[in-house]
Chains A and B, each alone.
Chain A
Amino acid sequence: MLAFTLKRLAGVVPTLFILLTATFLLVHLAPGSPLDGDRPMPAEIRANLEAKYHLNEPLIQQYGRYLLNIAQLDFGASYQYKDTSVNDLIATGFPVSLAVGGFSLLFALVIGIPLGIIAAVRQNKIADYLAMGGSLAGISVPNFVLGPLMILAFAVYNDWLPAGGLGGWQNYVMPVLALGTMYLAYVTRLMRASTIEVLRSPFIRTARAKGLSEMRVFVVHVLPAALLPVVSFLGPGAAAVLTGSVVVEQIFGIPGLGRFFVTAALNRDYTLVLGITLFYGIIIILFNLVVDVLYGWLDPRVAYR
């Protein structure tokens, strides 16, 4: 088990390296310099600025500096907000995005797992058709459609929930629903499919042949095996939730990291866009590592290999 964890940990290194190198090369392959504004800049000021951002050094030296800074978790200064470091912006924005994303994922799991199980157990009955039709609809309605529609229904036509901003828990209801619905649909479908597959496997017949109660058969034999695909979905799921939070924060005016990201992208704030991409990249890679190790722990066959 320890060897397995260490092996996975070592596997992260090339991924991180590729992430860092790819982003670095992208920045330097990009046409134009971030210093190119609407008006031409006096040569002297330009030289000063280039020196300040080390743009005048050879590429390999810049790469070394870049790696060194990231190793120290220092993403540099924002081009746009002159006095604010990217680190500060991440420190302000990420907790907010984490709360919205975390609750959304939790919402998807807490509702989706039981729903998928019910659909599987009642396969080809009314409950199954309702759950499957509903989840197919859920997958087909993007968060940037669901969000505005919810604002119309719950904030404009009725004054039930605040349309945006951050305050009490009421502010989280619509963003979490808008972001979580699609993953709820995914989790439901995944859970249904895997439960049906496990229920068909011979070892479940063995468990029944042993005279165990249906409860024990389900909790001890079916559930752990059926949950495995959902566990492996957590990695890409978390990445997708972080991505989705970019839109949802935009719709509901939530001051999270995703909103900074879009503003930075629209304003071509190179360092901020790069910093957030790197930060999310590292977060997602580390999260995948945790999920991998968790999976290996849950499925004895994986670690054994």
Chain B
Amino acid sequence: MRSNPDLCEFSFRQAVASTQLLTALGQTPLAEVMAQMAANPEASCILAVCRHEVVGHEVVGHEVVGHEVVGNKVVGIATRSDLLRTLATKANWPQLQLSQVMSHPVITVSATEPKTLPSLLERFKQHRISHLPVIDDQSQLVGLIEKKQLLQLLHDQHEPSEPYQQHQRTQLLAEITLKIRQSLQLKEILQTTVDEVKRLLSADRVLIYQVWPNGTGKTISEAVAHPYRSLLHIPFPEEVFPENYQALYVKGRVQAIADVHRPDSGLSKCLVEFIEQWQVRSKLIVPIVQPMNPSAGVAPLSKQLWGLLIAHQCSHPRQWSEFELDLMQQLAGQINLALSQGQLLAYLEDRVELRTAELTEANDALQREIKERQLVEAALRHSEAQLRLITNNLPVLIAYVDRHQCYQFNNEVYEHWLGKCPHSIAGKPMAAVVGQAHYQRIHGHIATALAGEAVSYESELTFKDGRSHAVNVTYVPHIEAGHKAKNRIEPLVKGFFALTTDISDRKAIERMKDEFIAIVSHELRTPLTSIHTSLKLLATGRLGELSHDGQQMLEVADENTDRLVRLVNNVLDLQRIESGEVTMDTYACDAAELLEQAAEATHTMAQQHEIEIQTQSVSLSIWVDPDYIIRTLTNLIGNAIKYSPPHNLIRLTVEPYVEKPVEESIEKSIEKSIETTHHRDRHTASMPTPQQALFCVQDHGQGIPSHKLAVIFERFQQVDSSDSREKGGTGLGLTICRKIVEQHGGKIWAESELGQGSRFYFTVPLRGDLERGNLEPNVSSV
């Protein structure tokens, strides 16, 4: 719209008002409003409207027909600047609606009212508004007059007014700011800036030059018009940008040079020559200054030059206006802000990346740990499953009992045999599980195990089918090197392992064996009696004289019949003792007397072998079956006589004996020493009161090899297999001795030295208090 007198009075429809309106309901979210604005970059404002029905008119044939249509009534207005301000100042803008940021009430102008440009401009000034909606006679929005356009019209006729320039600068700045803020990517922001500045200033080249701390630098963003050369990414030496220049820029120096060739440009000749290669005729330089990083150890208010925003005019010299200079400065400020945001973003991204790396590493470590744990757990589960498989499938009861006598583990055989579910008895006291009566029978063994000594016993258990089964029970103490007391480590018994084996079948077999032995022995005895008796009668010579050879053969037969009788008797005795048939008829006896009786019983035999027997004893009251103890002694003395060369001495002694203390029992349990070879310290003054008597039969015979000492008390384990033939032994004598001693609650063992002789020891219980009336030894020889 050029200079035209008609413009003094005109209809807005013809010239000013725009009908391309951007409208939205007042309750429209601000985000949607911003989207509309971004989609319509030419729109400078958005009008808030409300919808309502109005009467419209239409020509139908020759008649004008009225009808109701939906119209827009303007209720508010929000300019692009309003919206940008809101974005910049209100962090909660995504939650806001248009009605909360718009201006209202709205100043309008009627479409039917004739107006002149000055009158319109007067209305803008009067109300200090930038937009004037136009309404019809029904108050419906039909158009919009922008002050900028109005001023442009006036500008076309007159010099631009100051308000117009101010408005334009604000508008440009707002537009660029909006574009800048639509991105968080610095590179994109910088490129947008140079593009927009180049467009707005119609410059030939706009660039952003970044200055490095060493004074060098390069262009990192550029908008350049054809055909001028690009400076992008070309490094510039330090000489181009000396330190004193940098200092000036830090202080905010703005350099506007209308013509670089003019002498008053202030540029050195070499610099002019240098910039000539880039075809620069005129340039405007605005610094981009940032506060120093406080962490760098400088004062918080210190500033540093980050770079320069530069506009070049290459085609001709150019006088840069205050407006352009101001615009560049404000844009440099925006870049500075974007840089800060970008740095913050970069910092945050670095932090996020670092944290993500840390989290990834932690996650990897966690995954590895989880995997390792899973592997360990799988291995544990496998191991536990194997252990359970073993413990649950072995035909034995396996349990662990703690020191409070409560079950802590039972295998599933408890369910199969006794009908007791392991889960139901876990943690329960033994007495409650096995019953008080049974507990009374076994509590001594439990006490032994909890004292640290392994114990094994036989018992009867009633299975869930009601049948009684013979069982062998073994308690193995669970001993840990425990607490320190009195400068030494006391073993700590934490509980015991219980293993119960069903020995019903074994017992049945034993009974059958016993029965078999009894029958066989009996059946042997009858013919033996006949042979034995016949030979004895023949040997008297009263049935007729035999030749010398006949007599010798008779003696051989007689001796071997005697041996066979002894063997049968020993087999039967052993079988009776082992099967528990023999009950020791124990009462108080004098140990010295028994020793003398045994010596007397073997006197004849000793004489025949030219052996002297010497006894040395104290009067001790012992609690034994005297017949069996004499039998044990005579057996040991008989062996001593048989294995001693003539003219030797056999020493018989009996004396008080002190059992080893409890701690040694624990050690013994751990070390599993062999009882029969265990060398025991005999009584000492510091030991407690003796509770046993120790018998000893000592000879000076050939001795026993050490490897035989452990087995000579087993059946048929003579030192030499020829012994039984040469000495007439049965191989059962020492076994019977051991059984007799064990039936008395004592122990038997041997010590020997080859070629020096042997000592056979056994212990039996004292009656009670040691009878100290006669501790002087009685010595006699037989």
**Do A and B make up one complex?**
no
Query: Using a CB–CB distance below 8 Å, which chain A residues touch chain B?
Result: none
